Structure 1
Amino acid sequence: MAAQSAEPAPPLEAYGDLPEIEHMALSPNGKGLAIIGRVHGERKLTVIEDQAVRAATGLGEAKLRALDWAGENMVTAVTSATQRLGPEFTTDKAEMFGVYLIPLDGGKSELVFARSQSLAKATFGNYGTRLVDGKWTGFYGGVELKRSDRGRVGWEFDHGRPALFAVDLATNNPRKIGYAPGESHWRKWLVDSAGKPAAVLDIDTSSGRWQIDNGQGAAIASGVDRQGDVSLIALGTAGTSLIYATDDRDTQERRWFETPLAGGAASEFLPGVTLERIYVDQTNGRIIGYLPRSGGNAVLFDPAAQATFRKVYRAFPKLHVEIEDWTPDFGHFLVRTSGNGDSGSWHLVDLKRMAADSAGTERPAIAPAQVGPISTVSYKAADGTALDGVLTLPPGRAARNLPVIVFPHGGPHAHDTASFDWWAQAFASRGYAVFQPNFRGSTNRDAAFMRSGYGQWGRKMQTDLSDGLAELVRQGVADPKRACIMGASYGGYAALAGVTLQNGLYRCAVAVAPVSDLADLYSKQNSASGDNLMVRAQLIESLGSPAGFNAVSPRRAADKADAPILLIHGKDDTVVGFDQSTAMAGALKRADKPHELVVLRQEDHWLSRPETRKQMLEAAMRFVTQHNPAD
């Protein structure tokens, strides 16, 4: 029986399908919108200017990851595709990214590097766009090919270490401005307002030694980190300094530093502040503000910009607000909201008119009254650790003694917020309370909290979930006899662990793209890296000692499964191999435990295709309602 809301529940595909609006980007003058979404049922990239369609092109099932403008007459779109690789690679397939240049003046759209025979037709890092000498220029990592030495005419793979290229976006003509690193090294760059490399970070992946050089090749910072946790962040507010981040292994904190590009002593940047994200001026690569992880709104360094951002937030009280884009003069903003009564909406904010106009909704088939109430629940783990989670309730139904689904996030280094989640809302619409715990290891607090999950797969990270369930039972929200667990990626691992490593808690488990065997994950990720020592150190730090992998691998505990299990996995998954699910299914079959395996053809780790997303949700709903009916 569906949830007893004021209106009938929307069809399941209203949740599982790709949203009507996937991405938006605002033109620099504030007059144009580039939109990836559906128009009359067809998925398109549409450019609207002054309320008229300037350009439109069909997308089919292309996987679009990001959208941006380069001046007023070109849009760039980041896309990806799963590619099978040859025998010279350490893995059989990978997700390859590319950038399409879409001119709005009638020119032909094409992939960056498409005209260059000596470069692979993919991008390996996007370092922004700049207006250089009157020309819009994009900066991308590119892999150089070598002349074939096997009696063939043409080019062939040499190595996969990218160099930095400046690409004239009008002609798609690349020019190398930064050299590829040597063997066993990787390299990242920052590009200044003049289109020149202002800084380069080079890491020796065998020793962990790292060094940052300025544009003149002089070292301005260096150190050693066996896990390679060093990042270039942005240029300083004046463009004369560099901000970078490293991990302090003693305090378990992420620390940010600012150092002069000309050389000199580094000083700590924003000490004591844990950052969720930063805001960068896209015209010059300089930092302009940040979003604190502790909650609250964006903090801008310029007082006038801060006052402007506050006005934007005030326009959307009580909603989860994401400022997605803005014009360089801070006169126009593109804002996305979601939360109670809002299944995902986009707005154009014109501060000159002090007006916020609707730019579209993501799921028009879901009315405001059909959005399940969303709240945050605080609780404590058995060892006293303070935790929280997001609770989504069935619309129009009392929060008493409800069937419940524990829904841990993936990552595991991620977190859930009190915003609209299509998967959680789908189950809430059918009568279930859905709880998304931010267990230890999540990124909603400081770095120490995130690192407290290291080595806790199947241990405290797992009991944090059941402790959250116990809190909902204590509050009277959840019926302990009607609980299931589901999740994807790490969340899929946790779902499997919830009915194998733990017992007596859940009536069923749904695991999408799950890890089932930590030893196999460790071995294959090591192999894919070419047995890189840095990758090995990162894996051991996160997963724990290999000696303990079997004890926390659901595949090894399949004979202890005490509830039916549904496995769902994409064949094109390059993050968690499809064989993690087939191995788990095999172990369950040998143990004569009830289970199903649903294969998503041509699907990746992120459920990028609409048809297979809907297939996943339909299979999960069928399974849960069969084994844990809402009424």
Structure 2
Amino acid sequence: MPTRCSSTLRIAALLACALAMPAFGAEAAPPAPPPIADFFNNPAFSDANLSPSGKFLAVRYSNDNKRDRLIVIELATNTIKVAAQFSDRDVDTFQWVNDERLVLDTTDKSVGPGDAIYAPGLFAVNRDGSSFKQLVQVSGSFVQEHGVARTTLPADHYLVEQKGAQASDDVYVINPKRDGLDEGGEIKYVNLVRLNTVTGRAETIKRPGPAQGWLLDHKGDPRLCIALEKNIETIWYLDPASKEWRQIASFDAFLGGKDAFTPLAFGPDGTLYVLSDAGKDKMALHTFDLAANKVTEKPLVALADYDFSGRLITSRDKLLGVRYLSDARATVWFDEKMKALQATIDLALPATANMINPPARPDSPWVLVQSYSDKQPEHYALYNLDTGKFTSIGSTQERIVPAQMAEQELVRTTARDGLTVPAWLTVPNGKRKNLPMVVLVHGGPYVRGNEWRWSADSQFLASRGYAVLEPEFRGSTGFGTRHYRAGWKQWGLKMQDDIADATKWAIAQGIADPKRICIAGASYGGYATLMGLVNDPDLYKCGIDWVGVTDIKLLYTGHWSFTSDMSSAYLKYGAPTLIGDPEKDAAQLRATSPLLQAARITQPLLLAYGGADRRVPLYHGKKFLEALKEHNQNVEWVVYQEEGHGWSLPKNRIDFWGRVEKFLARQIGTP
């Protein structure tokens, strides 16, 4: 592994040796912990993608903490061009249309969701910066740079992040149609629009029903439409022979069932790949028989301890391999050359998980490699197949020194009813016994909380001397159907017991000091924080809740001051089974309401909410604060008025985690 810049690529003053690949076996960390900003600032380098031929590399990068711009490097000559930049916004999502042209949308990283006034828009540009064209409006206004034409689609059109064939000037955008005129209206259906990035010509695709999602085939043509009526999801297939839509499946969108599956992608030969549990506990990768309209019995990729989650890796005419997630991300290669290449790169980079991304139609010796570990934030490098050498591109957290970071491992704990509950444990370097500990509860809750990789939250806490435990309590996805369904209607009950039992495991192992444990989390994690203080007052000495639910019933009843971003279909057909029915389960919801149990919380609390949150609006926090302060004066309260469901601005992330650091030091820090 070279520790200095390769001579094969220079990215001028932008991406020169300052972003050289870090040495994975660096010396011991200095005693002073890294500054908060090193964990929570926006990165200078944030993404890179090879062109379809592999001859060009597109990079999103900001210089001197200014606006993110799109840069293209011709790899054979090291020629660098700024393809797109804006004075009042940042380049956000970008992708290659073909080897000559790119498409991109925008964001404004200087404002929070509450202050955002522009939609992302859509723009196309040649790799040398020429032929710049605005394709979609930005909330009714027009970017005046580059002589942008005014022949644009309305702002409610958004890029489809599917590559397709990358062999024409066309891309697809989606156009959601809502009840009402504003962005708060519910989506009735989603149109798919084919858009030419040179002429701006647009053509709406015929849809077979109230579409909510679309899937392109390997040639870049619409092939699957996912429709939703009430709680029923119907999957339609556009048959290339008849050129007509036909129904291939129908099932409950929220609760699933034995015939349910999730479409993943089409292979080069037209095979449809789907995710299905096929009547077993774990989700696996299967093919779908389009003639018989059923999932094939034998899986292509199945994992013993995890649901399959991942994507296909293809060339122009071949399925090369499958990327998947177990504890960490890895690849199973079907192509022998790629299998050998993986072995070579893993030998050169033994301390990291290494994701190889080949170009779609290789016509150069370069592949893009993304490497990461629990201690190493994601790092991008080019690998030259001819020379066998790496060339560093950049790290997404360039100030982080791996040697200063903590190790993370997946442990298995046992709940009081015998259920195995995985948990992520991060401990400070060189320490493992009798530590102050933060139990960090993930949101969702019906998602997977974490994976083996660098995490700003847990690494920051570990850098301050705390062990961090992140339980994948029942209801978390990714660990099988039984684990997931065991969490239905268990908010504040068995889900809460799993978190407490994992905490007691850490005490029994001698890792956690039983007198210095704090529970923390956002969204559902905030709810679990509050219920942890209610249910287990002797276990947790303090709590940190940001954007947390304070009463389940409030999710249903809403408030005059806001419109929820949760669909009425989910609240009607999904939430009553997954969370609880507001009428039939009223007694349970009262017993598991932090708002109604506030008098039982006497531990110190840090509460933080976003003024523009549409998932858990500010009144959740305000009502809870009112109820809490009658009995508990040891409460710190902060509102970030411009923020939504989480902190998007570095200044707010740095401020919040600075408050967390001081709060923890007062409550459970080392005497």
Tell me the TM-score normalized by structure 1. Answer: 0.84
Query: Is residue 163–residue 180 contact of structure 1 (8 Å, CA) maintained in 2?
Result: no
Query: Is residue 319–residue 334 contact of structure 2 (8 Å, CA) maintained in 1?
Result: no
Query: Is residue 97–residue 122 contact of structure 1 (8 Å, CA) maintained in 2?
Result: no
Structure 2 residue runs without a partner (length 5+): 1-27, 139-148
Aligned match for 1:431, one of 437, 453, 465: 465
> 1:361 offset after TM fit, Å?
2.3
Q: Is residue 18 of structure 1 aligned with residue 42 of structure 2?
A: yes
Structure 1 residue runs without a partner (length 5+): 86-92, 149-156
Query: Is residue 427–residue 434 contact of structure 1 (8 Å, CA) maintained in 2?
Result: yes
Inter-CA distance 370–255: structure 2 relative to 1 (3 Å threshold)? closer
Counterpart residue type for residue 619 of structure 1: R
Q: Is residue 53 of structure 1 aligned with residue 53 of structure 2?
A: no
Match runs of 1:206-245 below 5 Å: 208=232, 210-215=234-239, 216-225=243-252, 227=254, 229=256, 233-245=263-275
Query: Is residue 315–residue 356 contact of structure 1 (8 Å, CA) maintained in 2?
Result: no
> 1:481 offset after TM fit, Å?
0.4
Aligned match for 1:192, one of 199, 217, 224: 217
Alpha-carbon distance in structure 2 between the residues aligned to 1:458 and 1:68: 43
Counterpart residue type for residue 219 of structure 1: R
Aligned match for 1:334, one of 348, 361, 368: 368
Aligned to 1:151: none
Query: Is residue 379–residue 396 contact of structure 2 (8 Å, CA) maintained in 1?
Result: yes
Q: CA RMSD in A?
A: 3.8
Query: Is residue 369–residue 381 contact of structure 2 (8 Å, CA) maintained in 1?
Result: yes
Aligned to 1:411: 444
> 1:166 offset after TM fit, Å?
0.7
Q: Is residue 476 of structure 1 aligned with residue 510 of structure 2?
A: yes
Query: Is residue 130–residue 284 contact of structure 1 (8 Å, CA) maintained in 2?
Result: no
Counterpart of 1:554 in 2: which secondary structure?
A: coil
Query: Is residue 114–residue 641 contact of structure 2 (8 Å, CA) maintained in 1?
Result: no
Counterpart residue type for residue 142 of structure 1: N
Deviation digits for residues 27-66 of structure 1 (CA, Å, limit 9, x no counterpart): 2233433333432232422414134431065568957664
> 1:276 offset after TM fit, Å?
1.6
Query: Is residue 227–residue 537 contact of structure 1 (8 Å, CA) maintained in 2?
Result: yes
Aligned to 2:16: none
Inter-CA distance 483–59: structure 2 relative to 1 (3 Å threshold)? farther
Aligned to 2:352: 319
Alpha-carbon distance in structure 2 between the residues aligned to 1:536 and 1:285: 43
Match runs of 1:511-590 below 5 Å: 511-524=545-558, 528=564, 532-533=568-569, 535-546=571-582, 547=585, 548-590=588-630
Inter-CA distance 530–388: structure 2 relative to 1 (3 Å threshold)? closer
Deviation digits for residues 408-439 of structure 1 (CA, Å, limit 9, x no counterpart): 22222122123211111112111111122222
Inter-CA distance 500–60: structure 2 relative to 1 (3 Å threshold)? farther
Q: Is residue 203 of structure 1 aligned with residue 228 of structure 2?
A: yes
Counterpart of 2:47 in 1: which secondary structure?
A: strand
Query: Is residue 76–residue 100 contact of structure 1 (8 Å, CA) maintained in 2?
Result: yes
Query: Is residue 257–residue 267 contact of structure 1 (8 Å, CA) maintained in 2?
Result: yes
Inter-CA distance 285–459: structure 2 relative to 1 (3 Å threshold)? farther
How high is the sequence identity, in percent, across the aligned residues? Answer: 23
Match runs of 1:484-523 below 5 Å: 484-523=518-557
Alpha-carbon distance in structure 2 between the residues aligned to 1:285 and 1:96: 37
Inter-CA distance 284–75: structure 2 relative to 1 (3 Å threshold)? farther
Counterpart of 2:369 in 1: which secondary structure?
A: strand
Aligned to 2:200: 172
Greater mean alpha carbon deviation, residues 412-421 or residues 524-533:
524-533
Aligned to 1:152: none
> 1:466 offset after TM fit, Å?
2.0
> 1:484 offset after TM fit, Å?
0.8
> 1:463 offset after TM fit, Å?
2.0
Counterpart of 1:239 in 2: which secondary structure?
A: coil
Inter-CA distance 508–95: structure 2 relative to 1 (3 Å threshold)? farther
Deviation digits for residues 335-393 of structure 1 (CA, Å, limit 9, x no counterpart): 33333542442222233332232211233333232112323333222222222222222
Query: Is residue 279–residue 289 contact of structure 1 (8 Å, CA) maintained in 2?
Result: yes
Aligned to 2:492: 458
Query: Is residue 595–residue 623 contact of structure 2 (8 Å, CA) maintained in 1?
Result: yes
Counterpart of 1:275 in 2: which secondary structure?
A: coil
Aligned match for 2:296, one of 251, 267, 282: 267
Query: Is residue 315–residue 359 contact of structure 2 (8 Å, CA) maintained in 1?
Result: no
Counterpart of 2:403 in 1: which secondary structure?
A: helix
Counterpart residue type for residue 408 of structure 2: I
Aligned match for 1:357, one of 391, 412, 431: 391
Aligned match for 1:128, one of 157, 162, 170: 162
Aligned match for 2:53, one of 26, 29, 33: 29
Inter-CA distance 78–366: structure 2 relative to 1 (3 Å threshold)? same
> 1:247 offset after TM fit, Å?
7.2
Counterpart of 2:102 in 1: which secondary structure?
A: strand
Aligned to 1:277: 310
Counterpart of 1:511 in 2: which secondary structure?
A: strand
Query: Is residue 125–residue 140 contact of structure 1 (8 Å, CA) maintained in 2?
Result: yes
Counterpart of 2:597 in 1: which secondary structure?
A: helix
Alpha-carbon distance in structure 1 between the residues aligned to 2:513 and 2:444: 28
Deviation digits for residues 159-186 of structure 1 (CA, Å, limit 9, x no counterpart): 75221111112233221123384xxx33
Counterpart residue type for residue 485 of structure 2: R
Counterpart residue type for residue 630 of structure 2: R
Aligned to 2:124: 101
Alpha-carbon distance in structure 2 between the residues aligned to 1:508 and 1:48: 49
Greater mean alpha carbon deviation, residues 136-145 or residues 446-455:
136-145
Inter-CA distance 94–362: structure 2 relative to 1 (3 Å threshold)? same
Alpha-carbon distance in structure 2 between the residues aligned to 1:209 and 1:29: 38
Aligned length: 606
Greater mean alpha carbon deviation, residues 472-481 or residues 595-604:
595-604
Aligned to 1:90: none
Inter-CA distance 300–541: structure 2 relative to 1 (3 Å threshold)? farther
Alpha-carbon distance in structure 1 between the residues aligned to 2:90 and 2:480: 33
> 1:479 offset after TM fit, Å?
0.6
Counterpart residue type for residue 242 of structure 1: L
> 1:275 offset after TM fit, Å?
0.9
> 1:256 offset after TM fit, Å?
6.1
